[in-house]
Amino acid sequence: MDNNLKGMPLMEPGGDNIVLFHPHVPESAIESVGQTLRTRWIGQGPKVADFEERFGKMFGEGSVAVAVGSGTDALHLSYILAGIKAGDEVIAPVFTCTATNIPLLYERASVKFADVQPETLNIDPAHVKQLITDKTKAIVCVHYGGLPCDMNELGEIASQWGIPVIEDAAHAVGASYRGKPIGSISEFTMFSFQAVKHITTGDGGMLLLKDDGLKDKAHRIRWFGIDRTAKLTSHWENDIWEIGYKYQMTDIAAAMGLAALDEFDQISALRKQLLAKYAEGLKGIPGLRIVGHGYADREHAAWLCTVISENRLGLQEKLRENKIESNQVHYRNDRYTIFGGRRDDLPNMDSVEDKYLVLPLHTKMNVDDVQRVCSVIRSGW
């Protein structure tokens, strides 16, 4: 069922409007991009390598970082490196951006959708246990909104079956689980730098690899299957023996990413402050709860603030009347024909699919803006 309000175009920023998303582009990024455009390297060059090195150290505890053109590229690359092939089963979350699961179709894998935990909207390890078979090649998880999944439970299941966990951490840069940064836990972790993520490169992605031995293959696959280093140093044998793609990042994008890393601590702190203010301001409202709040064993990256409301449409309409934009943003993937149609074994997803709503949270907001949103909600709908 699609119960979205009709006739609600995107809200423009400015005036009293509080928009749902807004890109964060540091002033230094604008200057750095301009400088890059005056150099020899505007495609993949030295800035990409610098961005990979810094990002890997900040979020991967030394994991190998491979920069690509989008988070979707990074996921596809991880699926190839994990050895997923036609006919393999992969357990993946039903509730996520389609970018998580569409690359599995590129590999002609069979996607087994796992249910959500209603309190977090993350993948439910209990359902993963029910779905796993000897045909399962990997478990994919998404840290919805920035709250890490139950990584210990997922890791134990994967270890028992000898398969990898692949983390879609598009929402979760700066998150941690039991003291370990997201990016340092699993064999493969993807981050997204799409326009409205914590940091943006216009579009872009990063894949962190625990196995240093996969680095060369990852570099070849992101560049048509060509050993680019050998080619640039005139040592290439002028042959391609594996299928590759044009998935590399450019130095223009990396210039933006490097500037954002300089500001990441401030970006992260503000987003977490705003999410905490939402939790404080919305506490105790009948018929409303915040998704994924109050977990002491993990740190929320605060990309989204999502609430569950028994009258979601009424709440969305009330917010819009007060110049506050909101929406559902993500949807259950089994609504899309390409995945074969709606499943009947996802009761938790069924129970929340018409009740969740994303509230504004970005660096163009301040505490007063959050308090205004909370005040509107507290007045009823």
Please say if the pLDDT value at position 5 is more than 60: no
- The overall average pLDDT reported for the chain is 95
pLDDT confidence of 1, banded at 50, 70, 90? Answer: very low
Provide mean pLDDT across the span 85-105.
Answer: 98
Ordered structural domains, the chain, with CATH: 27-262 (3.40.640.10), 264-378 (3.90.1150.10)
For 135-153, what is each residue's pLDDT tens digit?
999 999 999 999 999 999 9
Provide mean pLDDT across the span 53-79.
Answer: 96
Provide mean pLDDT across the span 304-317.
Answer: 97
CA distance linking residue 147 with residue 296, whole number of Å: 11
Quick check: helix, strand or coil at residue 181? strand
Provide, rounded to the nearest whole percent, the portion of the chain with pLDDT above 90. Answer: 92
Number of residues that make up the chain:
381
CA distance linking residue 335 with residue 337, whole number of Å: 7
E strand or H helix that includes residue 306 = strand 305-309
pLDDT in the model for residue 238: 80
pLDDT confidence of 7, banded at 50, 70, 90? Answer: low
Provide mean pLDDT across the span 104-111.
Answer: 98
Strand duo 165-168 + 95-96: pairing: unpaired
Residues whose CB falls within 8 Å of the CB of residue 368, separated by 6 or more in sequence, listed in order: none
Residue-wise burial string across 142-164, b where 16 or more C-beta atoms lie within 10 A, e elsewhere: bbbbbbbbbbeebbebbeeeebb
CA 91 to chain centre: 17
Return contacts of 112-119, CB within 8 angstroms, 24+ apart: 112/136, 113/333, 113/334, 113/339, 113/343, 113/346, 115/345, 115/346, 115/347, 115/348, 115/349, 116/346, 116/348, 116/349, 116/352, 117/150, 117/348, 118/308, 118/348, 118/351, 118/352, 119/291, 119/292
CA distance linking residue 266 with residue 243, whole number of Å: 41
For 232-262, what is each residue's pLDDT tens digit?
777 667 888 899 999 999 999 999 999 999 9
Residue 144 region by backbone torsions, left for phi larger than 0, else alpha for psi between -120 and 50, else beta: beta
pLDDT in the model for residue 244: 95
Provide mean pLDDT across the span 161-187.
Answer: 98
Q: pTM of the prediction? A: 0.95
CA distance linking residue 10 with residue 190, whole number of Å: 28
